[in-house]
Amino acid sequence: MCGVAQTPAGPTPLARRTPPDVSSGRLRPGEPLGVYVHFPFCSVRCPYCDFAVDTRAELGARAGWFAGAGPLVSIYFGGGTPGLWRPDALGRVLDAARAAFGGPSAGALEITVEVNPGEAGEEHLAALRARGVNRLSIGVQALDDDLLAGLGRNHRAAAGPDCVRAARAAGFDNVSVDLMFGIPGQTRDGWRRTLDATLALGPEHVSAYALTVERGTAFGALDRKGRLARPDDDAVAAMLEDARAAFAAGGLAPYEVSSYARDGRRSRHNQLYWALAPYLGLGASAASFRPLDDGTGWRFSNPRAADVYLRGDPPRHLERRSAADLDNEAVWLGLRRADGIDRAAHRARHGRDPMAGREAAAATAATAGWLSIDDRRVTITDAGVLYADEIAARLWI
């Protein structure tokens, strides 16, 4: 229904005896570029200080793979908890990324760091701001102590607003708040109170995700045993509608299924993912994408284990995505965005109209009131937002 996006199942390449060369092929030129730095450590101050050295070495080795890309527009430090990283170490990686790709002026480059409430005070945040970080993503998740405890978070409800206030005091004027709904024990009234309290903090951006229960997790095990008392699908759908209404009324327009922003404050980094633009992932488990000028592209990621990454093992999960694969992905990602799919731009990039071969499924979705289709754009409707991934699966060819 709604929540964290899951790519519809597509073709999987056959296993190869020798790893393919992900640096092969000419990069699709002129597209804006993003760099993602994954900091895999949590809840410890200044762990693995040499991690900055390894990340910079990786950057130096792979920057050439992205030669010919357009301007560097985003550097995003995620995790883990990169907010725990010593600011001078983080700053060295930031400087190396700018130097490798000829970074633009500070105002034209979005530099985001994820932080957790209770783990980064005003002094630490001010040091990040002095290093050039100009956007914070704060993992508030909930504003209820019981819900936070159930999620295994190590902060109390009051720490979320405190962190936002500390960010403002440290000089940040671009703050994003992460929230979750559909949490075990959460009520619709409690969610509405969370929405009101979040709007009172005045964030420039909010990411609000429905809880997705994955196999292999503690929640997954409880769910299989029928012991996870989470809201049902109708309640989760109502919570999504509550969020869209509350944030729109508060000046945060929905621009993707789970993302809301004030004018000019959409996440540049996330928009690169949704546009199939190139991005280089650095650090343990970080993923990269190299779109090529023949319509195909390379996806690959680093080893998940930090110790394996630190010994310099090569990328894993190497995958050459075909032109048809990327056409499907572009439709799926486009339908998650409020701007929808620009049909002319899709034809120019993928060589076909986004509705070609999808006419019957698209017509069914339009009749159901889920899609709006005209000569210029294909967009999901407010009713269709609840079924975004289901619609994408039906349109996957």
3-state secondary structure of 87: helix
Give residue 277's pLDDT band: very low, low, confident or very high (50, 70, 90). very high
Give residue 231's pLDDT band: very low, low, confident or very high (50, 70, 90). very high
Give residue 84's pLDDT band: very low, low, confident or very high (50, 70, 90). confident
Question: Are 381 and 372 a contacting pair, CB within 8 Å?
Answer: yes
What pTM was estimated for this model as a whole?
A: 0.92
Read out DSSP for 281-302? EESTT-EEEEEBTTS-EEEEE-
Distance separating alpha carbons of residues 118 and 153, to the nearest angstrom: 11
Confidence at residue 339, expressed as pLDDT on a 0 to 100 scale: 97
Note the pLDDT tens digit of each residue in 132-176.
999 999 999 999 999 999 998 989 999 999 999 999 999 999 999
Give residue 218's pLDDT band: very low, low, confident or very high (50, 70, 90). confident
Note the pLDDT tens digit of each residue in 321-346.
999 999 999 999 999 999 999 999 99
Mean pLDDT of 285-294: 96
Fold observed for domain 33-273 = pyruvate-formate lyase- activating enzyme (3.80.30)
The yes-or-no verdict on residue 366 having pLDDT over 90 is yes
The strand pairing partners of 337, in sequence order, are 256
3-state secondary structure of 377: strand
Confidence at residue 16, expressed as pLDDT on a 0 to 100 scale: 40
Chain mean pLDDT for the chain? 91
The more confidently predicted of residues 5 and 188 is 188
The yes-or-no verdict on residue 41 having pLDDT over 90 is no
Residue 154 DSSP code: S
Q: In what order do the strands lie in the sheet with 135-141?
A: 253-256, 259-261, 205-210, 175-181, 135-141, 110-115, 72-79, 33-39, 279-282, 287-291, 297-301, 316-321
Confidence at residue 18, expressed as pLDDT on a 0 to 100 scale: 60
Distance separating alpha carbons of residues 280 and 35, to the nearest angstrom: 5
Tokens describing residue 120: 């980064």
3-state secondary structure of 341: strand
3-state secondary structure of 308: helix
Distances (CA, A) of 284 to 38, 39, 69, 78, 316: 6, 7, 24, 11, 11
Tokens describing residue 142: 């909930």
Long-range contacts of 228-234 (CB under 8 A, 24+ apart): 228/184, 229/184, 229/185, 230/182, 230/183, 230/184, 230/185, 230/186, 231/182, 231/183, 231/186, 231/187, 231/188, 233/1
Question: Are 19 and 57 a contacting pair, CB within 8 Å?
Answer: no
Domain boundaries, the chain: 33-273, 340-397
Please give the span between the terminal C-alpha atoms of the chain, in angstroms, as a whole number: 20
The yes-or-no verdict on residue 5 having pLDDT over 80 is no
Confidence at residue 214, expressed as pLDDT on a 0 to 100 scale: 85
The yes-or-no verdict on residue 3 having pLDDT over 90 is no
What's the length of the chain? Answer: 397
The yes-or-no verdict on residue 15 having pLDDT over 60 is no
The yes-or-no verdict on residue 246 having pLDDT over 80 is yes
Distances (CA, A) of 388 to 4, 213, 375, 377, 385: 11, 18, 21, 16, 5
Give residue 12's pLDDT band: very low, low, confident or very high (50, 70, 90). very low
Distances (CA, A) of 234 to 237, 239, 365: 5, 9, 20
The yes-or-no verdict on residue 377 having pLDDT over 50 is yes
